[in-house]
Amino acid sequence: MKTIDDLEVAGKRVLVRADLNVPLDGGRITDDGRIRASLPTIRALAERGAKVIVCAHLGRPKGAPAPEFSLQPVARRLGELLGREVAFATDTVGESARATVAGLRDGDVALLENLRFDPRETSKDDAERGTFADALAALADLYVGDGFGAVHRKHASVYDVPQRLPHAAGGLVLKEVEVLKKLTENPERPYVVVLGGAKVSDKLGVIENLLKVVDRLVIGGGMAYTFLKAQGREVGKSLLEAEQLDTVRGFLADAEKRGVEIVLPVDVVAAAEFKADAEHDVYPVDKIPADRMGLDIGPESAKLFASKLAGAKTVFWNGPMGVFEMEAFAGGTRALARALVDSGAFTVVGGGDSAAAVRQLGFAEDAFGHISTGGGASLEYLEGKRLPGLEALEG
């Protein structure tokens, strides 16, 4: 892949596909990590005299403008972080976008409105998607792909535009690929992967592939209850994907055959209901009451998981251990993050929830080897899938 150093950008309009898909609460950005991760590429291009046109998506607005998914708050925050005004186009490729781009001087930065406000961005129809890509490409002279969190999508701004313009990969994409190659091609061992989050079904492919390469798989979060149930334990009202039980039993058998250790919680924090102030207590995994739901791993599990990370040389973590947004159920995720920091391993935190948890729980980002911006993209890379956005940048 070419880098931005391979492009002559001075005086040129450069369309940068960034990943600015940040969490919002009533128009307030609750975690600006993805914006900050995009800064180095945007700043480098602007400092070299490019007219920088940033484009991105936010949420899933279903192909039509929706005020709650506007990128306007992101434009404000981007401007604050860059220390300069960021012009904002109130549409994607329409009159406002064209006028905004026309008004840029060398070194200026603009942000287009949410790409997913146009249904053609995500269309499965190549021709339909192509018409949107044509309109985006017409705004620029060069293209830089730096939205790693979207490279697993065959979307117009990710896949089709780089086929229409001279292109390069931004620094964020290059860093993500470098880190993921370390995890897949020759990881330093012992190699431990920690998976959490809600659903096993979101991670079927990655578990299947990881069993071929890891030494140990540690499983927490909501997905752990399907594993516990597959071992014959009762999980009360905890999150359970009953339709995945046979698949999970297959994973357990495959792991045993390959000599991969699967580590599951030994105790959980279970509550009467899914509420921040719900009555809760710690229970061993074979004594979860029928009327309680597990919302975090328990203290003994936290100690166990930490012991399984000690001595590891490479650790990849994707998915929180519990409902970390609620303080009563944040202990497991906090303990796991601390164990990663203390492990001495090359640590990679992948996925938006895990990255947000690290920041929300007060850990310094530089305490980890790498905090990835690409949740689904990272997982698909680890599955061994081909990612359309990377293929387009390699072309």
The helix (run of H) or strand (run of E) holding residue 360 is: helix 352-360
Q: Do residues 174 and 145 lie in contact, with contact meaning Cβ atoms separated by under 8 Å?
A: no
Query: What CATH code would you report for 178-383?
Result: 3.40.50.1260
Give the span between the Cα atoms of 60 and 75, in whole angstroms. Answer: 18
Q: Do residues 318 and 205 lie in contact, with contact meaning Cβ atoms separated by under 8 Å?
A: no
Q: Do residues 270 and 301 lie in contact, with contact meaning Cβ atoms separated by under 8 Å?
A: no
Binding annotation: 19-21, 34, 57-60, 116, 153, 203, 294, 325, 351-354
What is the domain partition of the chain in residue ranges? 4-170, 178-383
How many CB atoms lie under 10 A from the CB of residue 317?
A: 31
What are the structure tokens assigned to 153, written together?
A: 């999508």
What are the structure tokens assigned to 12, written together?
A: 């040129």
Give the residue numbers annotated as catalytic, written as ranges: 34, 199, 352, 376
* Coil, strand or helix at 51: strand
Query: What pLDDT does residue 373 have?
Result: 81
Of 84-88, 133-137, 342-346, least confident by mean pLDDT is 342-346
What are the structure tokens assigned to 270, written together?
A: 């279970």
Residue-wise pLDDT for 317-336, tens only, equals 999 999 999 999 999 999 99
CATH T-level fold of 4-170 = Rossmann fold (3.40.50)
Q: State if pTM tops 0.85.
A: yes
Residue-wise pLDDT for 177-226, tens only, equals 999 999 988 899 999 999 999 888 888 889 999 999 999 999 999 999 99
Fold match, 4-170 / 178-383: yes
Find all residues with CB under 8 Å of 105, minimum gap 6, and list them.
Answer: 51
Provide the 8-state DSSP code for 3.
Answer: B
Residue-wise pLDDT for 115-172, tens only, equals 999 999 999 999 999 999 999 999 999 999 999 999 999 999 999 999 999 999 999 9
